[in-house]
Structure 1
Amino acid sequence: MQFCCHRAWRAGTGCLRGGPALGSDREKAMKRYAFVLALVLVSGWLAAAHGGVDAGWQPLMDRLAADGLDRAWVEKVFAGAGVDYEPSIMARKVDAMVRKQFEPRPAPTKKTLEASNYRQFLTPASIEAGVRYIRENRGAFDRAQREFGPPPELICAFLMVETKLGTYLGDQDALSVLASLARASGLGQIAPYMKTLRGDAERSAYADWAAKDRSEWGFRELAALLRYAKAKGQGPGAIPGSIYGAIGICQFMPSNALRFGVDGDNDGVLDLFTPADAIVSVASYLRGHGWVPGMTGEQRDKVVYAYNHSELYVLAVTTVADRLKARLGG
């Protein structure tokens, strides 16, 4: 689940457009790149000199301790997990936000959906896999609907689109991703990696705001990931995630795992990498974002949008759900 809170930003007045007065964009970009590369090399040297912990993580570890996490444990996590700083992660996130803000796209249609990567979930084979998954996990789906309301086909559609029913859980280290987002707190740290600035002052101002905003968001999610891992009894560095740190079969951001996660199989542990916990947790999330019995299609779409702020995503999930329902004979 990804959230781009671009609506909160407002461009200031008097923003200037056009290129810089001195030097070419390419020359400035190369200088910025060299500067960032130097910082990375220096931070690596400092890490070796401080017992394997990159000294650049120190302010972040201070904040995590101030947030209530045990400092000794936090330091152990960062020392043992080999947390890597990748400013390109924030750059990719901010690039997406800049495109959404300055390059809006028309509302998607069925034709758009069938031409997108989501079309893989609309094939007969994918729908059959979803039907089997519902039947194999009938108890969890029944509990989810009984306690929270959403029907099996809708919950299953989320799990299909998010992780192919748990067969693809992301190839990123969630800890490094969220730590990198928390650390990259301004345009100066990510500009060499960005593709959407175009020498435009308004875009740059927005990107700087976006980086600061997403850095705060990244910190909250990092703290939540650490708490989730500690409660689960798992090393945070061993948790796989998406490109922005979502985890589990249901791809929850860690804060949502803490808020909406449900121990669906009653084993005493919240583990979003198990089907029962993921299934019931999705239902809990949807109920928490407005799901009620008898809602209209438009109301349903708003609840789905809360899961991922993309109209194409909403169209994909609801279309898959409708096909699952038809195949189940509903």
Structure 2
Amino acid sequence: PAELVERVFTDPRVRFLPQIMPRKLTWDETKLPYQQFLKPQRLARARAFLRDYAPLLREIESTYGVDKEVLVGLLLVESDLGRHRGRYRIFNVLASMAVSADWQRVKSYLPPGLSPEEEARFRKIMARRSRWAYRELRVLLELSRKYGMDPLALKGSIFGAFGYPQFVPSSFRKYAVDGNGDGRIDLYTLTDALASAANYLRAHGWRPGLSREEKKRVLMTYNHSEPYAETILKIAEYLRASPRRDSNTP
């Protein structure tokens, strides 16, 4: 409704964030330091999480058919098991991306001295991301109306993802579930977050008995990065092979 749009866009918390565009344009998933999640301290935390939430994880694994170790690995990579969920208001991120196709608005924030070829490539990327962000922004406003959410209260990443599993609004609409049966969906609670991530993976083809390569393909629907999927599978393999508790677990 027009009144919702007007109320949100006139909120003093609304900010244009053009400074995030250079990071988006130079972001390369294949070069991210995924090895950090395979360090002993991170793996120890993952093992402690697997132990501490064993009943919940077994229940979700039974319901959705997704390996509990994979779910722990996914949450470790996405948000460090909920420790790092992002600090940007996702409304501001998506709104800023939605207007990024306006070259005059954002060009001063991009690297200087772009060649004509680089400028053409950046314009194309920004136009594509602008269209995507506009769709996600509309979904966010629809969700805020449906669930009574404050769209400016949600904080997440520079890509507009939020919660423990780092869902974008369209993923929330399609795959988020009320895992604890309290009548609401909150991706900042473990039960809803784990159930929603499992629901997403099942909807994209996860089932018991998949080969390692098939599991990797499903994980790459969550994030189109082979290093990302490989890291989650390695974490899961480690957790299955090392059930004992580390003496240095925090």
Q: Deviation at 1:169?
A: 1.0
User: Partners in 2 of 1:137 and 1:225 — Cα distance?
Assistant: 30
2:79 maps to 1:148: no
CA offset at residue 251 of structure 1? 0.4
- TM superposition shift of 1:221: 1.2
Q: Is 1:131–2:47 an aligned residue pair?
A: yes
Distance of 1:302 and 1:190 partners within structure 2: 35
Q: Are positions 1:237 and 2:168 aligned together?
A: no
Q: RMSD between aligned alpha carbons?
A: 2.2
Matches within 5 A, 1:248-287: 248-287=163-202
Tell me whether 1:323 sits opposite 2:228 in the alignment: no
Q: Provide the rounded CA distance (Å) in 1 between the counterparts of 2:45 and 2:219.
A: 21
CA contact (8 A) 2:21 2:110 kept: no
Q: State the distance in 2 between where 1:325 and 1:178 align.
A: 38
Identify the residue that residue 176 of structure 1 maps to in structure 2: 92
Structure 2 residue aligned with 1:198, among 94, 114, 117?
Answer: 114
Of residues 188-197 and 317-326 in structure 1, the stretch that sits farther from structure 2 once superposed is: 188-197
Which residue number in structure 2 is paired with residue 84 of structure 1?
A: 15
Structure 1 position 197, deviation (Å) = 7.2
- In 1, Cα distance between equivalents of 2:75 and 2:146: 24
Write the deviation string for residues 95-129 of structure 1: whole angstroms up to 9, x where unpaired. Answer: 33xx78xxxx7xx8xxxxxxx63333223332232
The CA deviation at 1:227 is 2.7
Which amino acid counterpart does residue 217 of structure 1 have in structure 2?
Answer: W
- 3-state secondary structure, aligned to 1:265: coil
Answer yes or no: is the 8 Å Cα contact 1:137–1:276 preserved in 2: no
What is the rounded CA distance, in whole Å, between the counterparts of 1:231 and 1:163 in structure 2? 26
Query: What's the CA shift for 1:239?
Result: 0.9
Counterparts of 2:44 and 2:180 in 1: how far apart (Å)?
A: 24
Q: 1:150 deviation in Å?
A: 1.1
Distance verdict in 2 for CA 1:222–1:271, change over 3 Å: same
Partner of 2:161: 246
Q: Secondary structure at the match of 2:123?
A: helix
Per-residue Cα deviation, 1:225-284 (whole angstroms, up to 9, x for no partner): 223334443311111110111000000111101101011111110111100011011111
Does residue 1:162 correspond to 2:162, yes or no?
no
Contact 1:143 1:280 in 2 (8 A): no
Q: Which whole-Å deviations, capped at 9, do the CAs of 1:167-213 have from their partners, x for residues lacking one? A: 11111111100111112224343222223973132x32222122111
Structure 1 gaps of 5+ residues are: 1-69, 109-115
What is residue 289 of structure 1 aligned with on the other side? Answer: 204
Q: With the length of structure 1 as denominator, give the TM-score of the two structures.
A: 0.68
Query: What amino acid maps onto 2:187 in structure 1?
Result: L
From the superposition, tell whether residues 161 and 267 of structure 1 become closer, same or farther in structure 2 (CA, over 3 Å).
Answer: same
Q: 1:295 to 1:197 in 2, by over 3 A?
A: farther
CA distance in 1, matches of 2:78, 2:197: 11
Distance 2:132 2:19 in 1: 17
The two structures have a TM-score, normalised by structure 2, of 0.88
Which residue number corresponds to residue 33 of structure 2?
117
What is the rounded CA distance, in whole Å, between the counterparts of 1:140 and 1:264 in structure 2? 10
Percent identity over the alignment is 34
Larger Cα-atom Rg: 1
SS in 2 for 1:236: coil
Higher relative contact order (CA 8 A, sep 6+): 2
Whether the 8 Å CA contact 1:197–1:204 is kept in 2: the answer is no
